[in-house]
Chains A and B, each alone.
Chain A
Amino acid sequence: MIEFPDISPAITELWLAIAAMALLLIGVVRGDRATRMVVWLSVGVLAVAIWLVWSDADTSVVTFSGLFVADRFAAFAKVLVLLGSALALVLSLEFLERERLERPEFPVLVVLATLGMMIMIAANDLLSLYVGLELQSLSLYVLAAFNRDSEKSTESGLKYFVLGALASGILLYGATLVYGFTGSTSFTGIAGALAAQEERSIGVLFGLAFVTAGLAFKVAAVPFHMWTPDVYEGAPTPVTAFFSLAPKVAALALFMRVMLGPFGGIADDWVGIIGLLAATSMVLGAFAAIGQTNIKRLMAYSSIGHVGYALMGLAAHSPGGVRGTLVYLTIYLAMNLGAWGVILSMRRTDGKLVENVEDLAGMARTRPFLAAAMAIFMFSLAGVPPLAGFFGKFYVFFAAVDAGLYLLAVIGVLATVVGSYYYLRIVKVMYFDEPAPAFLQPAGATIAVIAVTAIFTLLFFLFPAPFVAEAHLASLALFP
């Protein structure tokens, strides 16, 4: 007989699950009119969840018979994910109302996806990893197809579903191999079994490769990135914004925990794989985005490139590398959120949303504030000092060089130079091209999000210490 487990470390997950069901009930009873209320309530629920995580961040416990772990690393990643989800919801409200998509299930699905990400981040077992991943993915498939009357949105949902199911299958296959050759699904058990083996069994390596492939699909790293541009283009724009924020952070956090936790002892075997994923992602992200005219596709390739930089920190497999990736993700979240805020404001005065790079032409004259904010985000995404994006890259490059991955660092720098071209092209289109018709004034909430993220991106260099210190503490949790 097993004692009833201690559920207090999972208080955030419980809160999100119960709140999601309550929000669903409100939505069902009040109907579509309640969408606005449910969106704001969901933002409140996520804000409370941030407080719950942060008030109990300084713990390190394993509960639910070893299925669940709460430590500083999890707390850091959870706060990032919750922030990303909440602010993506704030950005989505105007879009939902203007495109007649006001359905209360939208915020509920975002909250449930966030719950899945919480479970992923807190996973300490291959089983909880998979369950969390599926909860998150299933919500995301539905969100991608949310605009069911649009052919593109349905197509993107279906594509994402079919390829995502395939990736889940690959991941599960790898998990069974790892279980078969180590005799345990728990991360601590796997690490122990691997440490006890004198000779590395080929089965574990195969399992590791399959698990890596499945996770690489979820973070959209090359060569498992094919779905990204199509899904990002077809999904409703606020959903695309959400896709590029919270799920990326959650999947990368999970990636780091899996690689450094159970497989930390055999790092020599996977550093090459991760390094290759990082290098190809950076290069493809830089080159493939050049020819894009649709800004959503462009941002999709940009996000593939950024995943490459974030994986570089993992390839360094040191506390410094994890710290670099966490700082990188924090900054990526801020500047990407702002950029998506501007993209969601690209609405002509007749109410039509446009999404081509040319449509931004001359925005500096029609909407100088938006253009200035977008310029900040683009310079930051390109990695121009002293904006925040530069510091994100600085920490991961530093960790890579520290770990002796010189080639990877050189590829990263070169990819940054190439990538700058298309970020700066957007700035050029906004500031030097003949003005296109003006955009509508965005909603107050959107402006607030853009302003806050722009100020963060602009002034990060004045106060990087608290973030870096927090990320440093979080990274130490993965290296006991």
Chain B
Amino acid sequence: MLIQFIVFYVFAAVVVGSAFMVIAARNPVHSVLFLILSFFNAAGLFVLAGAEFLAMTLVIVYVGAVAVLFLFVVMMLDINFVRLRQGFMQYLPLGAMLGAILLVELLLVVGAFVVSPEVDTLAAPMPPVEQQSNTHALGQLLYTRYMYLFQASGMILLVAMIGAIVLTFRVRTGVRRQSIRAQVARTRADAVELKKVVSGAGISGSL
């Protein structure tokens, strides 16, 4: 229990710390790297909570796809982040006010929030985590009860793929490609020509 307790606080502290660094770092590439760090630690928190499927999805989708894409964009676009930050102090009062309003609203929501007495039966995993893992349970639902929708979603992704190719793929003309077959099939006769150079006339005249 103590180990779990310590691990939780380590993960939580790293998440909060790296999330702060995402907005505090001067270099945008560092920001993205801190974002990835916070995703990883959030995934660790999910594992602690027994939601291993969410943890995997977080790593695969957010770290594997979203953050890498983000990194690409940050590296490809030459955005002057220092200039973007200008006027930070000027807008600080307005930003602080909005933050305060949001905080009050959140407190109101949390204050009025009542946990349903049925939550233990409604929100409890079925079957319990000890008997079956999340991934197993999700897969069983997805491939039986929601099989139809799962397959149809697959068709939607296929359409998205076809659409992206149809709208962007171009056959470039005038591109010279290496043809290994042609290179190997070349004989000495195709490539070398013997010329008799008349002495004193130079090479240019005889070619």
Contacts and interface: CB of A to CB of B under 8 A. Distances in A.
Q: Does B associate with A?
A: yes
B152 A119 contact: yes
A112 B160 CA distance: 11
Interface in B118-152: 140, 144-149, 151-152
B159 A109 contact: yes
Given A5-B144, A138-B160, A105 B166 contact: yes
Q: Which of B140, B148, B153, B160 has the most CB of A within 10 A?
A: B148
B152 to A, nearest CB: 4
B27 to A, nearest CB: 34
Contacts of B155: 17, 112, 115-116, 135
Given A2-B144, A65-B145, A141 B163 contact: yes
Interface in B79-117: none
Contacts, number: 72
A5 B148 contact: yes
A5 B166 contact: no
B144 A112 contact: no
A202 interface: no
B148 A105 contact: no
Nearest to A16: B155
A29 to B, nearest CB: 15
A297 interface: no
B77 interface: no
Contacts of A65: 144-146
Contact of B167 (A5, A119, A145): A145
Interface string A135-151: 10011011001101000
B166 A131 contact: no
B147 to A, nearest CB: 7
With most chain A CB atoms within 10 A of its CB, the pick from B149, B153, B160 is B149
Given A17-B155, A112-B158, A115-B155, A138 B163 contact: yes
B156 A24 contact: no
B163 A142 contact: yes
Contact of A67 (B149, B163, B165, B166): B149
A135 B156 contact: yes
A340 to B, nearest CB: 23
A108 interface: yes
B149 A134 contact: no
B162 interface: yes
B148 A64 contact: yes
Interface string A448-472: 0000000000000000000000000
Closest 9 CB pairs of A and B: A142-B163, A64-B148, A2-B144, A131-B152, A65-B145, A105-B166, A138-B159, A67-B148, A135-B156
Given A65-B144, A142-B159, A157-B167, 13 more contacts: A1-B144, A21-B158, A67-B146, A105-B165, A109-B162, A112-B155, A119-B152, A131-B149, A132-B152, A135-B152, A142-B163, A142-B167, A148-B167
Interface of B: 140, 144-149, 151-153, 155-156, 158-160, 162-163, 165-167
26 contacts: A1-B140, A2-B145, A5-B144, A10-B148, A17-B155, A21-B158, A64-B148, A68-B148, A105-B165, A109-B159, A109-B162, A109-B163, A112-B158, A112-B162, A115-B155, A127-B146, A128-B148, A128-B149, A131-B156, A134-B156, A135-B155, A135-B159, A138-B160, A142-B162, A146-B166, A148-B166
